[in-house]
């Protein structure tokens, strides 16, 4: 899987037709890096560009923590469908309102639990009314997280990577066999991407290219640094239901989104 990260720099050039903004696009494979590693690499790269005597902190030593496997599990591909991507902003005010419902101070956890609650509503034909309640969703998430903590706390570091791959493999096979509809979440919040400065100024927006996979959600810092942007990819039919959900619109606002230009404050 590859992600394309796009950052828009703060100095426009004008021509007769439009303002053209300089930007940088980065394509990364998850085989070699995750979001945090990408952020560290970008910030070290930028600092090296500004300061010739800068010593990068990034070290390419993951193999010493997660030894390579001779015969890793093969993870089957998930069928890809025609999808659309939309971005929604959850403001700091909305996060504050959510704290009154869910007992956590983590903005990412609040946004995650809200969206999981709403996605259950999208597929409410197979879900009971009690299961749709936000409190029920939160309780199930906490139970699952604690189960993983208990399972991993005594595991040696050299076994964790294999365990993760095997767990993913089992999960994907269950999804394919039972025709489940999984939702995948990741976060690039609080990774310092808005601090990346190659000497031309810090970016005014950071976003991702559209995901080719349905039910994919990525959380990003909003440009103000106070709220959270959620880049959501669903099938066209599911997006029509999701984006008109009254509970969604109570806490989140649609944001004009372009993978080439990033998020804008203008609603779609």
- Asked if 13 and 19 count as a contact pair (C-beta separation under 8 A), the reply is yes
> Rounded to whole angstroms, what are the CA distances from 262 to 138, 166, 266?
31, 35, 12
Q: Is 117 a catalytic residue?
A: no
> Considering Cα of 59, then 65, then 69, then 75, what sign does the dihedral take?
negative
**190 conformational bin, left if phi > 0, alpha if psi -120 to 50, beta if neither:** left
Distance (Å, whole) CA 10 – CA 203: 6
Catalytic pick from 34, 44, 136, 197? 197
Residues paired with 255 in a beta bridge: 87
**What is the rounded CA–CA span in Å between residue 60 and residue 185?**
26
Residue 18 phi, psi dihedral angles, 5° rounding:
-160, 165
Active-site residue, 197 included: yes
Q: Which entry of 3, 19, 30, 150 is annotated as an active-site residue?
A: 30
Catalytic residues: 30, 197
């Amino acid at each position: 899987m590859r992600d394309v990260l796009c950052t828009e720099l703060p100095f426009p050039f004008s021509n007769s037709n439009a303002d053209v903004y300089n930007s940088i696009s980065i394509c990364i494979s998850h085989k070699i890096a995750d979001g945090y590693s990408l952020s560290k690499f970008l910030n070290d790269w930028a600092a090296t560009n500004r300061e010739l005597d800068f010593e990068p902190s990034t070290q390419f030593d993951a193999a010493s923590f997660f030894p390579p496997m001779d015969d890793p599990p093969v993870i089957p591909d998930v069928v890809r469908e025609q999808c659309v991507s939309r971005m929604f902003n959850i403001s700091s005010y909305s996060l504050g309102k959510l704290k009154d419902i869910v007992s956590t101070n983590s903005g990412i956890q609040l946004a995650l639990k809200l969206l999981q609650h709403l996605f259950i509503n999208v597929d409410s034909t197979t879900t009971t009314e009690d299961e749709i309640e936000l409190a029920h969703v939160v309780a199930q998430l906490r139970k699952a997280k604690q189960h993983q903590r208990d399972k991993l706390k005594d595991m040696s570091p050299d076994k964790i990577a294999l365990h993760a791959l095997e767990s993913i493999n089992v999960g994907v096979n269950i999804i394919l066999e039972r025709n489940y509809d999984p939702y995948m979440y990741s976060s690039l919040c609080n990774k310092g991407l808005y601090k990346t400065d190659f000497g031309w100024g810090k970016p005014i927006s950071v976003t991702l290219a559209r995901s080719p996979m349905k039910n994919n959600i990525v959380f990003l810092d909003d440009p103000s640094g106070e709220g959270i942007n959620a880049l959501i990819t669903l099938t066209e039919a599911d997006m029509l239901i999701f984006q008109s959900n009254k509970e969604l619109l109570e806490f989140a606002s649609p944001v004009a989104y372009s993978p080439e230009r990033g998020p804008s404050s203008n609603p779609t």
